[in-house]
Amino acid sequence: MTTDRHSDNVQQFEQWSSTYEYDLMQYFVAYIHRAVLDVVNQVVKDRSPESVLDVGCGTGRLLRRAAPRWPKAKLIGVDPAEGMVTVAHQLTPNALVFLAGSEALALPDGSLEVALSTISFHHWNDQAAGVREVARVLRPGGCFCLADIRMPIGLSWAIHHHGPNDPRVMAEYFAQAGLQVAVQKFVLSRFILITAGIKP
């Protein structure tokens, strides 16, 4: 079930979609995108994946950054905000982008090699279910790399974020989904936690 808080988050991103690409925050996000792709390369040992999914893809920036790094990969993005999906279609025509939340990806079991998510996890309505759903669509040996903001729990709830992104909690979510944590590290002075897991 979608909560009011989740609906409010999606509505905010609907309104933001037309100007999202030009927001100054994108300079900060670009650094995180580079860090996430570097971690994935570390985990998959520079093997070129056949398929890459971005959960909470927004306007497709991370997919566009991934394209030259993995030129043969099939690029897929999902986002719960229709406006973001519309802009992603326009700016990322080489990717398959569709409307979906993290908890219901509408992709076959074991169909993807790499899944990514950057700075959207705190908006997921059911974080544990979302991680399980990503694990479901990964092939054995597939990698899920998730980066999100880490903040004090009081501030987290005050600004409508779901949880404080604690490393132990994240590792537990991954373990419950059947993913083995391969890398967990902080970037940007411990403001961003990156967790990467492998599906056995």
Q: In whole angstroms, give the CA distance from residue 98 to residue 56.
A: 10
Give phi and psi for 119, each to the nearest 5: 55, 35
- The strand pairing partners of 115, in sequence order, are 53, 144
pTM equals 0.88
Q: What local confidence, expressed as pLDDT, does residue 23 receive?
A: 77
Domain count, the chain: 1
Q: What local confidence, expressed as pLDDT, does residue 159 receive?
A: 44
pLDDT tens digits, 97-138: 999 999 999 999 999 999 999 999 988 989 999 999 999 999
Task: Report long-range pairs for 155-161 (Cβ below 8 Å, ≥24 apart).
Answer: 156/122, 160/5, 160/8, 160/9, 161/122, 161/123
pLDDT tens digits, 7-63: 767 777 777 677 778 777 788 899 999 999 999 999 998 789 999 999 999 999 999
- The CATH number assigned to the domain holding 115 equals 3.40.50.150
